[in-house]
Structure 1
Amino acid sequence: MDVKAIREQFPVLHQEVNGHPLVYLDSSATSQKPLSVIQAVDEYYRQHNSNVHRGVHTLGSRATDLYEGAREKVRRFINADSTAEVIFNRGTTTGINTVAQSYARQNLTAGDEIVITPMEHHSNIIPWQQAAKATRATLKYIPLQADGTVALEDVRNTITANTKVVAVTHVSNVLGTVNPVKEIAQIAHENGAVILIDGAQGAPHMNVDVKELDCDFYAFSGHKMCAPTGIGVLYGKKKLLNEMEPVEFGGEMIDFVNLYDSTWKELPWKFEGGTPIIADAIGLGAAIDFLNEVGMDNILHHEKVLADYAMEKMNEIDGLTIYGPESRAALVTFNLADVHPHDTATVLDAEGIAVRAGHHCAQPLMRWLDVTATARASFYLYNTKEDIDHLVDGLLKTKEYFGDVL
């Protein structure tokens, strides 16, 4: 994998920030975009801009072909059986909310259980809190091991015959934990439950085969995988999606409208009310082309090398605490002793290094870690060992600066 050649494809990386070359270590929040994606969106607006599905004129046909062509690219990317199982939306949050508001509220009653983990992003907690309140179901949590992993024994002890929905993250956006989602799906199905996987941190970094995982729903966002912001995907098994009611109503998703009742289009369009996110879906298709050209296995291997290197170098810094398991996805969440993570991020930014600081939309996990906030460095296919060396140097400067202040 030629990382230097890959970096050349990302215009934003070739700039200085505060007088230093940019070191972008915040891809878990959003990834940067390659030229091919930028050009695909630009070309759509310059040459093909039209609404889809509705017109018979040339531009409308072109736009529809590009939009539905992107759906086919997603289908192949996750190995879904049919494009009917690929729903375009605004992102992971919208996908999870769709399942919580439609499937869960239709199928859950008092005494039923929803099972999640304490490591979930708020987007995979709050929708289930609301669904539990609306249906009088019980929300349960699989306990975490001391290193922030999930033990299958605890999964088996938490999921019961009363469990109807299991919702877990593929990869923790804080701990870097890669959950055994295939095995969790099997346990869920043995107990008659469906499983939703939050793939926001999974789909950008590894091969995802929804049939191999045997997940019922898989939600992910385009902007974390080199695509534009505002586009995401909900995969769902066709049988389940057919049984679910839409949660957003209006144009595009209807079949017939009468004065007092209406009927819906077939899948996937019944879940895509209003004018679709056309340009960004086309951008997602271009991003998938780009990732496939690099190779998802190559990306995963490169990121493992970076994660191992980061753990090795950062563990050498006295007073630095790293959260999560030793074996992890391509991110490191940490704190320097006696330095607030926002201060750490500010000093690093002065050195041109972009990291994230805060609770990372995971406040229950912060409480489990017994911290109010952390800093996080996250890596992607365009990062290098030199980026990590700059991070380590920046952390040493941060430590020196606040050591002098304190």
Structure 2
Amino acid sequence: MERSRPVEVVPTDGSAAAAHALGERLVSAVAGHGPAVLPTGPDDPPPPAHLTAPVPAGVAAVVTTSGSTGVPKAVLLSGTALAASAASTTARLGGEGRWLLALPAHHVAGVQVLLRSARAGVPAAVMDLRDGFRPDAFAAAVAEARPTVSRLSLVPTQLRRLLDDAGAGLAAVRRFDAVLIGGAAAEAALLDRAREAGVRVVTTYGMSETCGGCVYDGVPLDRVTAEIVDPDPSGVGRIVLGGATIAEGYQGLDDPAFLPGRRFATSDLGRLAPDGRLEVLGRADDVIVTGGEKVPPAVVEKALLEMPGVREACVVGVPDAEWGSRVVAVVAGSGLDPEEVRRQVAPALGRAAPRAVRVLDAVPLRGIGKPDRTAVRDLFDEGSGATRPS
């Protein structure tokens, strides 16, 4: 009979003390000592009993997914996979470094920050997030941790706030040797703006099932593979990731997404660029079929974000009696007129152009910064046209 390991629930509340306590337990678990760790956040209900059942002996952490595809799942991450992920990140970034944790510690990205810094021989510095992420608080956390911190992980929303701050927060983020950007798609305009401001950004792609980010700037980390399966004539197909960082599976659930040979079939569509880099086009289940044509929202969002004044964009499909679905969008920015937005992108997008646009102060978000597509759909009804917010 396979040996098993108990699971310990470790709550976090956004404080440095809770993050450090979690980090110590994670380091011990990865080394094979003590129970596996299931971190929870300040607003999480107690995990159900089946998620805290014993796990295979090699599992070091149990991390719940965001639930973007439905019911959240508990991902079983082995100590070997977590160690391989930390080692590959260190190699890609050119050596060890101390990290600042500015993300929720219980998410996979927070877990990785704690483990990567521990690998460098020093606990991560921690920003107190009990009052949320603010540029001034971030600047204070960096000032307290300097000069020892050199690595940072952020979501696009945090990066945008620091750039918009244009003060102490921006000055602080410029000090890092590497700023990983993940958790949600980062538009090219935001990344260009960051680089022009002197921020050393590195885009990451991955998920809880791959120990977090495992593709950096479109290139898989060492011992990681990325392939496109069942591509269409344009080269777009399902992204399958593989290698040393793949999870052992889900707690109490067999899922066909885990393929033989340590491979994981993601829910994302992508293609390989001519230079071999992976281009992620968004979730397969977000693809909009309108009049028989498949429209990846990322393609439309890219066109919208290239327009002057558009800071954020989210594109979804809503039911349509004639077309099956119709493409709609919300945009955020300054001086935007919804009809003008539609008019400008229509020639390039054709049938994929949004049939309705709403201008908001900000795109609705969920979790640590992913667009809330359900909330965006709720803004539109059967008869809605291009409108400003009411």
Question: TM tier, shorter chain?
Answer: 0.3 to 0.5
- TM-score scaled by length of structure 1: 0.35
Which structure has more RCO (C-alpha within 8 Å, separation ≥ 6)?
Answer: 1
TM-score (norm 2): 0.36
Q: Which has the higher strand share?
A: 2
Higher helix share: 1
